[in-house]
Structure 1
Amino acid sequence: MIERQEGRLLVKAPLTMANAGGLLDAGRSALQAGEVVFDFSAVDEADSSAIAVMLGWLRAAGAAGAHVKFAHIPAGVRSLAELYGVADLLPLA
């Protein structure tokens, strides 16, 4: 679901309700101290659960001493984040 590549965590599964729990757990497990970039360039499907997963990773990062950034967020997810008023909470790489 998530693969470490060139210092980034490449998300390789749809960011949908069906995968949300697994992605949340996989992202938490992959966190390390320092800066962590979740790269969504391989994501071809996403729904509103992506916002919850990303916020969950941010919370887990704080507990792990990591600083999370997000790269290549799908346009639909970015639009949803703006609609929900949480876009400013999602740090971009």
Structure 2
Amino acid sequence: MLVLPAELTHKQAAACLVMLRQATHTAGEQTVVADASALTQFDSSALAVLLECRRSCLLEGKRFAVHGMPARLAELARLYGVAALLPPAAA
């Protein structure tokens, strides 16, 4: 499981993306799950990071899901029309 930090804004996005890309590449699972439950301070950059992680997974033939997406981030995803691209992880 990929764990997102508590703060993920434009300032942290590039470094976080590098870390998450490495983790998705080495993950042995067919479905990579990003745990967003720790996110407390974020902007639309968090969506960009999640979408890029999804893209990386798809390029490797893996599925991507998000666990614990905060309500505000889910609302941003709906507003930008990308909510369907970031499905919730199976329970």
TM-score normalized with structure 1 length = 0.83
Counterparts of 1:8-87 in structure 2, within 5 Å, are 8-31=1-24, 32-33=27-28, 34-87=30-83
Structure 1, unmatched stretches of 5+, are: 1-7
TM-superposed deviation, 1:65: 2.5
Distance 1:59 1:45 in 2: 24
Report the count of equivalent residues: 86
Distance 1:24 1:13 in 2: 14
TM-superposed deviation, 1:23: 1.2
- 4+ aligned runs moved over 6 Å, structure 1: none
Structure 2, unmatched stretches of 5+, are: none
Distance 2:76 2:20 in 1: 21
CA RMSD of aligned residues (A): 1.3
TM-superposed deviation, 1:77: 1.0
- Residue aligned with 2:66, SS: strand
> What CA deviation, in whole Å up to 9, does each residue of 1:35-90 have, x standing for no partner?
11110112221111111111100110112222111011121111111111111111
